[in-house]
Amino acid sequence: MFFVKLGSSCLSPFIERLFHCVGANHRQAGYCSLTGAKQNLERLFYLIEFAKLSLPVQPLCTQRIIMTQLTITKPDDWHLHFRDGHLLDETVPATARCFERAIVMPNLVPPVTTKAQALDYRSRILAAAHKYSHTNAASFTPLMTLYLTNDTTPATIREAISAEIPAAKLYPAGATTNSDAAVSGIEALYPVFESMSDVGMLLLIHGEVTETDVDIFDREKQFIDQHLDPIRRRFPDLKVVFEHITTADAADYVLQGGDSLAATITPQHLLLNRNDLLVGGIRPHNYCLPVLKRNTHQRRLQEVVASGASCFFLGTDSAPHTKHAKENCCGCAGCYSAWSAIELYAKVFENLGVLEKLEGFASHYGPDFYGLARNTDTITLAKEAWKVPEQITLANGDDIVPFFAGQTLDWKLVS
């Protein structure tokens, strides 16, 4: 449902009839709500403009239609990093304020490699959520993942699926934060992929090659050719999520990949390109992996989400590091976006003129691909300016600079 605000001069009997024609079901003091798609709004606006031109009805609409509220099915975050210990008191409520479920990455130290570790971690996340049950966190559901290593076996997978662990994550060794324990020689894991395909566990992939002689901007494309495509040809029924894609190559590969392939896209890769990392000084809080790419890639990502293709869905890759670890001569990769995640995506979709496509991306396509039910609750965003905090201070005194710190956003979660 969309809420729109019209100039007060719209309230002529003729305009009231137009509201009725396009299905407006409530109108009061210049506000009206329309069920259905943006086409309804466009039709209404067109009719009002038409009326202004062709009929002697005065006064007529003098203001553009502005969407002021947006209510969508409650979204899920299909890729994030909560970390562990005291950080859960920060990260879990920050995500649960707007997301019902989240796929929790397993790159802890040591990594989450077994069912038992995943269930323990799940309990710690739930304990943190329950501490904040006065917020939305009471209903929050973490979806756990296993970290694949060269020691993972088909038995590990069968055990995990019996505990409803829906997915396992493939990090090529050395690709990113805490991935030293990860897989070297991906083919060695083919028996594991086979069992995942058999039991219906999803394979989540950090898709970058790690050879030192491959340029960092080419690592995603090379991963597709060297590893992703061979895996998918060998295991056509294995459901694969190509995580946090950053290039046109990845977007186009996913588009033609059929029903068993999907991708998550982060807010930073939709909002920014490598100029935002490197021009006018290095911006460590925009540094993440895979690294931001050139603007042509950013535009292709924007195009595919604007198209409403259901193989792309929301995954923030929200990944906190302390301010000190980011603003460092060897700064860590990761953008902590949980504080503004859904609002940032709303900004993207609004800028692209396709706000009505946000709901599919944020709330429908993820559960559909995972084979889970869509959420039944809703959230409402209002057009209301607010500033992302400059920094957050944790209970232990450490500071974290959230993604988009100090910047003003004009959509705000209100319920």
Known catalytic residues are 317
Q: How far is the CB of 104 from ligand DOR (least distance, A)?
A: 11
Q: Residue 412 pairs with which residues in a beta bridge?
A: 382
Question: Is the CB of 238 or the CB of 288 nearer to Zn ion?
Answer: 288
Helix (H) or strand (E) holding 250: helix 248-255
SS3 state of residue 177: coil
Q: Which does 333 bind (CB under 5 to 8 A by kind): Zn ion, ligand DOR, none?
A: ligand DOR
Chosen residue from 319, 348, 379, 405 binding ligand DOR by CB under 6 A? 319
d(CA 260, CA 264): 14
d(CA 345, CA 368): 19
* Strand boundaries in 195-334, DSSP class E: 202-205, 240-242, 261-265, 312-314
Chosen residue from 176, 264, 286, 340 binding ligand DOR by CB under 6 A? 176
Binding of ligand DOR at residue 145 (CB under 6 A)?
Answer: no
Question: Is the CB of 74 or the CB of 244 nearer to Zn ion?
Answer: 244
Considering only residues 259 to 298 of the shown chain, the ones binding ligand DOR according to CB under 6 A are: 288-289
Binding of ligand DOR at residue 302 (CB under 6 A)?
Answer: no
In 3D, which of 134, 133, 122 has the Cα closest to residue 164? Answer: 122
Q: Which does 91 bind (CB under 5 to 8 A by kind): ligand DOR, Zn ion, none?
A: none
- Residue 205's φ and ψ, nearest 5 degrees, are -125, 130
Binding of ligand DOR at residue 172 (CB under 6 A)?
Answer: no
What's the chain's length in residues? 415
d(CA 106, CA 112): 5
Question: Is the CB of 147 or the CB of 365 nearer to Zn ion?
Answer: 147
Binding of ligand DOR at residue 81 (CB under 6 A)?
Answer: yes
Considering only residues 23 to 52 of the shown chain, the ones binding Zn ion according to CB under 5 A are: none
Q: Per the structure block, which two tokens stand in for 264?
A: 């998550």
Q: Residue 70 pairs with which residues in a beta bridge?
A: 2, 381
- Interface stretch with Zn ion, choices 119-127, 227-235, 298-306, 310-318 (CB under 5 A): 310-318
Residue numbers of the site for ligand DOR (CB under 6 A)?
A: 81, 107, 176-177, 206, 288-289, 317, 319, 333-334
Residue numbers of the site for Zn ion (CB under 5 A)?
A: 317
